[in-house]
Amino acid sequence: MIDIDDIEAAARRLHGIVIETPLLQNAELDRIAAGKVLLKPECWQRTGSFKIRGAYNLLSQLSAEQAERGVVAWSSGNHAQGVAAAGKILGIRTAIVMPEDAPTAKLDSTRKLGGEIITYDRYTGDREAIARALAAERGAEIVPPFDHPHIIAGQGTVGLEIAEQSQSLGLHADQVLICCGGGGLTSGSSVALKARLPDVAIYTVEPEEFDDTARSLECGERVSNSSTARSICDALLPDTPGQNTFEIMRRLVSAGLVVSDEQVRAAMRFAFRHLKLVVEPGGAVALAAVLAGKVSTADKITIVVLSGGNVDVELFASIQAGPV
């Protein structure tokens, strides 16, 4: 388990490495919500998502001997870019197991950052097993996508920034909505938020068929998704919450919210047309929850994390061609 001291230490390591993304407000969004909504655009972050925060926090703490042997990770794409970018900054060789159907933008960016890519079939292969076998063969260090204290603490700097920025604006947030896959961002941010804003309500948001966190929170133990589940939110498709991340979320998160792929598409259109932001499907689920009325926002201050913006041009264009 981690605490606020771990997250503050991570923030010091990340100073000058990551972008302190701002909190944005939009009049049309406030009108729809009948309250005040502040957006945390991690789609503006280095590599296009929050993932570099955790990756750099872990890689920067490796010993010289560990760094020399390199690292191996598994990722649907955003963690891959974060690991590759951190490795490039620190001079550490990186190899990442990625789905063969990962967005081309994520594959290309990972390669450009110097990451070695090993592809697999996300529906029949076991990415973690492949990565661990490769790491054992090479003597490399494992960099998991979410279930590691250094990863959780690094991602928690998002929540730390939210708390500090909202307080500096004189705004006391009532609730924070966070896009959730394995739970690294939510768990780390929850620790920071509850340390600074004890009364804030925290909600995870997931795609309809990948609502393992929402169901796990409801029943009190980790559950898995169906092997037949599908969603356009490629960044949010883990089979089950992490063991460490779930233990934190179980204590600190108020509830899990769920949105449909069509609601995600609508949120992506809203972000582009009204906010002038490019947000990927997985990064738009928290905004989708506000727009779809999944949580009460009237007369409240709601903070929404836009967790990433790495989306293929073709998919983005086809979604934007949809109805207003």
The per-residue pLDDT for 12 is: 98
As a CATH number, domain 4-49+149-320 is 3.40.50.1100
The per-residue pLDDT for 118 is: 97
The per-residue pLDDT for 283 is: 98
Determine the Cα–Cα distance for residues 203 and 178; give it in Å rounded to an integer.
6
pTM of the shown model: 0.96
Q: Contacts from 21-26 at CB under 8 Å and sequence distance 24+?
A: 21/45, 21/161, 22/165, 23/162, 23/165, 23/166, 23/169, 23/303, 24/275, 26/274, 26/275
Token duo for residue 94: 């990186």
What is the signed CA dihedral for 37, 38, 40, 43, rounded to 10 degrees?
A: 60
Determine the Cα–Cα distance for residues 58 and 79; give it in Å rounded to an integer.
12
CATH: 3.30.450.80, 3.40.50.1100, 3.40.50.720, 3.40.1130.10. Which one for 52-143? 3.40.50.1100
The per-residue pLDDT for 1 is: 83
Residues 255 and 272 sit within 8 Å (Cβ to Cβ):
no
- From first to last of its 324 residues, what are the pLDDT tens digits of the chain? 899 999 999 999 999 999 999 999 999 999 999 999 999 999 999 999 999 999 999 999 999 999 999 999 999 899 999 999 999 999 999 999 999 999 999 999 999 999 999 999 988 999 999 999 999 999 999 999 999 999 999 999 999 999 999 999 999 999 999 999 999 999 999 999 999 999 999 999 999 999 999 999 999 999 999 999 999 999 999 999 999 999 999 999 999 999 999 999 999 999 999 999 999 999 999 999 999 999 999 999 999 999 999 999 999 999 999 987
Domain borders along the chain are 4-49+149-320, 52-143
Same fold, 4-49+149-320 and 52-143: yes
CA atoms within 13 A on the CB side of 156: 34
The per-residue pLDDT for 60 is: 98
